[in-house]
Amino acid sequence: MKEKWNELKKYPLLVLFFVFLFGFMFLDMAWPKRAYSDLERRDLAQVPDFSLTKLFENVWTSEYDKYTKDQVAGRDMWLRLQSRSESLVFQKEEIGGALLGDDEMLFTQTLALKPTEERILKGNIQQTSLFAMRYPGQVTLMLTPSASTIYPDLLPANAPMLDENALLDTIFEMHEGTNCIDLRETFGAAAEDTQLYYKTDHHWTTDGGAYLAYQEYCRSLGLTPMEVSKEDFKHVEDFWGTTYSKCLRWDQTPDTIAYLDIPNQLTVWQTNAVGEPSEPKFTSGLYEMEKAETADKYAMFLYGNQGYTTIEGNGEGRVLVVKDSYANSFVPYLTSNYAEICMVDPRSYRNSIDALMQREQFDQVLLLFSFQTYSTTNIASYLAASASAD
């Protein structure tokens, strides 16, 4: 045995290699397995079910390879190390689909719309226009521009990006006669002095972008906006948004979420077999404050993206908000103007909004989406005329 050990000592690198290999193997076996990554904001692969069919079709090996990568020991550390090396050593300005801009601003990179997305956008333009024509004087269309459109000077030099301005021009031109709110001019004028968007996330800030958008909405309809000051907001610190989770920029500082402590009640509704609200799931305040202690802090607003939600207001009349997640930090302001706010997220509600309009007889409708959602998500089929309207 001593002779074998003396022989091995002649090859120290080989010994170190096997020590590292088997040591890491045992560490990996003992490392706790996770179902979800807070850092990456996604579910992690689990041990795949084995079958001979999946093995011979090379499906099982592919799934197992993904599982070993997702559950590797120290995965978060390796991801951070990879991000740091890509930005510092290789001077990359795009990591994981996120652009590393100036002033610690992170942008979602969109090079072009896919052919399927071009068809989706065309259908959405057509159906939102027809929807507005069916309810003249009641419909407002608000599309939130991406942060890259408002802060082009903070983008990396010569970064290839979709011409969002041209597409927004086309969308608004196709809605002639509809109350369209184009936020680009207002946001552009305020961009230097106001943080309109989070630096680590694609959403607008509550006290910046969302409040300015709310003021523009009120102005367009002759409503009196809720007056707020900086002192009215409460804050949640250490917010690392979804754009950060794509790139894990090593020198990034976290954002702060601002919110208004409004005492109004919110009800999330259970939907029946055809997707219509049937009975309340629960009634609570406007914020799920438990989420403020998690990685997904933005989900604290209005309990995230629910299919059908109603909110008690302090004003007059009823408004229907057909929305994506941008509306979640915007809608609390509307409690000052309406007696009831009903919210529908077509990605979860998945039923005829036209039929809902006919049944509920809302006074106003706000279609509020980010440009990204409006151009990539099928909203058209849920806004199309229902059978009873034909």
The predicted-structure confidence for 330-372, as pLDDT tens digits, reads as follows 999 999 999 999 999 988 887 889 889 988 989 999 999 999 9
- Report whether 73 contacts 28 (CB < 8 A): yes
Predicted confidence at residue 76, as pLDDT, reads 64
Q: 271 — phi, psi (to 5°)?
A: -105, 150
Predicted confidence at residue 61, as pLDDT, reads 72
84-112 average pLDDT score: 84
Among the residue ranges 100-104, 281-285, 379-383, the one predicted with the least confidence is 379-383
Tokens coding 318: 């009823």
Predicted confidence at residue 355, as pLDDT, reads 87
- The Cα-based distances of 222 to 46, 178, 337 in angstroms read 54, 16, 11
pLDDT for 196 beyond 50 = yes
Provide the angle, in degrees to the nearest 10, between the axes of the packed helices 164-173 and 115-134: 30
- Report whether 323 contacts 345 (CB < 8 A): yes
Placement of tokens 């226009």 in the chain: 129
- pLDDT tens digit sequence for 289-319: 999 999 899 999 999 999 999 999 999 999 9
Tokens coding 201: 């996330």
Mean pLDDT of the chain: 86
Predicted confidence at residue 176, as pLDDT, reads 86
- pLDDT tens digit sequence for 220-268: 999 999 999 999 999 999 999 999 999 989 889 999 999 999 999 999 9
User: How many residues in the chain?
Assistant: 390
Give me the torsion for CA of 33, 37, 43, 48, rounded to 10°: -20
167-190 average pLDDT score: 95
Tokens coding 58: 């090379």
Tokens coding 188: 């552009």
Predicted confidence at residue 389, as pLDDT, reads 44
